[in-house]
Structure 1
Amino acid sequence: MPEEKHLQHGPLGENCAHLCIDMQNIFAGDTEWHTPWMERVLPFVERLAEARPERTIFTRFIPAQHPGEGEGTWGRYYERWRTMTLDALPPGSIDLVPSLARLVPPAEVVDKHVYSPWTEPGLHERLQARRIDTLVISGTETDVCVLAAVLGAVDLGYRIVLPTDALCSSSDEAHDALLTVYRGRFGQQIETVSTEEILRAWR
């Protein structure tokens, strides 16, 4: 299913914000969670964030402090990924990549300890207080944390716009499959277009 050429539900305005998922050193650097083509999409994420820094919220995924920590299956998860716990990672690993970190403030940061940012208190309320009803969602990974952010936002009633050139994954197959799902199964709530089209439509 091809990328849409234009936004199906019209232009974007003051009720729109940019939610950028987990563009952090932990995924950009030489770690077990390295996302190889984050570097390729970073310029598109930068364009979105630089265009509306005061309307950008960055999320950061915060791993467990040590192996085995976490509720339920998260404990097993961090036994498997023991090199990715805070005790094992070098300083600065959970920071945003430098080109995005420099935009804070006015951009904001929300830390989360699971895939979805909606489980952390305050994000939805913060957006509602600003009368945000539309989210441009960029970042990593298309099939994990971006997926959790998108589905949570759909459940909360947000209009979702995905910049297909500003999303990345460590799995090409899963990335492509999720874009097909987003377009084919959630077409009333999710629009998929290029960064260029979003910037042209965001007035």
Structure 2
Amino acid sequence: MASGIRFGAIPANAVHLCVDMQRLFAEDTAWRTPWMPRVLPVVVRLCERKADRTCFTRFIPARTASDGLGAWRRYWERWPSMTLDQLGQDKVDLVPELRAFVPPARVLDKAVYSPWIGTDLAAGLATAGVDTLVVTGAETDMCVLSTVLGAVDLGFRVVVVSDALCSSSDESHDALIDLYNDRFGQQIETAECDEVLDAWA
């Protein structure tokens, strides 16, 4: 199925869910995402237009590896430099270019890839009558993937802004954009920022 906005205008009350555009992924860490500087201006442009409809998520690492539950403990043992004790609390901040939009934009912290687990995000969106999410952020094949699939399961219309995503893997990024179009075409639309802004009242 072709990319693009296929299911009509994006409702005025849609929410821009910007995933994990944080210093720990932008700066010189083990998880640096090289594409972030390239897509950041696109995310900024969307935020400039829709700051009051934007929610930023932040991935908050475990304090120490021993704080991880189940397989997360093994994960943090693999990445000890990314635990809060070694990384430093300031690295979980949004990149400065996006932090400037808060408020009116909101910030949602999460301890796992998905923003739907252990948060009130779904309930808050339901209360506000939101049925459409516009998704940007990092990384395409990790936290963005978990965000998108969780939103699909909850019944949201999902619009993925294809030029406002970043990953450390070109191959995985491209494969997921193809997957959204080929296999999730009734629930996920992929479009570039210009088309999204044109469709969003």
Above 0.5 in TM-score? Answer: yes
TM-score scaled to structure 1, two decimals?
0.96
1:121 partner amino acid: T
CA offset at residue 13 of structure 1? 2.0
Gaps of 5+ in 2: none
Gaps of 5+ in 1: none
Residue of structure 2 equivalent to 1:58: 56
Partners in 2 of 1:22 and 1:197 — Cα distance? Answer: 23
Indicate which of 141, 144, 150 corresponds to 2:148. 150
1:23-34 alignment runs, 5 A limit: 23-34=21-32
* 8 Å CA contact retained: 2:5, 2:191: yes
Partners in 2 of 1:91 and 1:163 — Cα distance? Answer: 29
CA offset at residue 92 of structure 1? 1.3
- Does residue 141 (structure 1) correspond to residue 149 (structure 2)? The answer is no
2:54 partner amino acid: T
Residue of structure 2 equivalent to 1:182: 180
* 8 Å CA contact retained: 2:13, 2:53: no
CA offset at residue 91 of structure 1? 4.3
Number of equivalenced pairs? 201
CA displacement 1:45-96 (0-9 Å, x = unmatched): 1111111111100000000001232110000100010000000013410000
* 8 Å CA contact retained: 1:137, 1:161: yes
RMSD: 1.1
1:49-88 alignment runs, 5 A limit: 49-88=47-86
Residue of structure 1 equivalent to 2:110: 112
* 8 Å CA contact retained: 1:163, 1:198: yes
2:19 partner amino acid: I
- What secondary structure sits across from 1:166 in the alignment? strand
1:164 partner amino acid: S
Partners in 1 of 2:157 and 2:168 — Cα distance? Answer: 26
CA displacement 1:90-116 (0-9 Å, x = unmatched): 341000000111111110000000000
- What secondary structure sits across from 1:35 in the alignment? coil
Residue of structure 2 equivalent to 1:132: 130
2:126 partner amino acid: Q
CA displacement 1:104-149 (0-9 Å, x = unmatched): 1110000000000000221011111211100000000000000000
- What secondary structure sits across from 1:65 in the alignment? coil
Residue of structure 2 equivalent to 1:199: 197
**Structure 1 stretch 147-156 or stretch 9-18: which is displaced more?**
9-18
Indicate which of 13, 16, 30 corresponds to 1:15. 13
TM-score scaled to structure 2, two decimals?
0.97
- Does residue 47 (structure 1) correspond to residue 54 (structure 2)? The answer is no
Partners in 2 of 1:15 and 1:107 — Cα distance? Answer: 14
List 4+ stretches of structure 1 deviating above 4 A: none
1:126 partner amino acid: G
- What secondary structure sits across from 2:92 in the alignment? coil
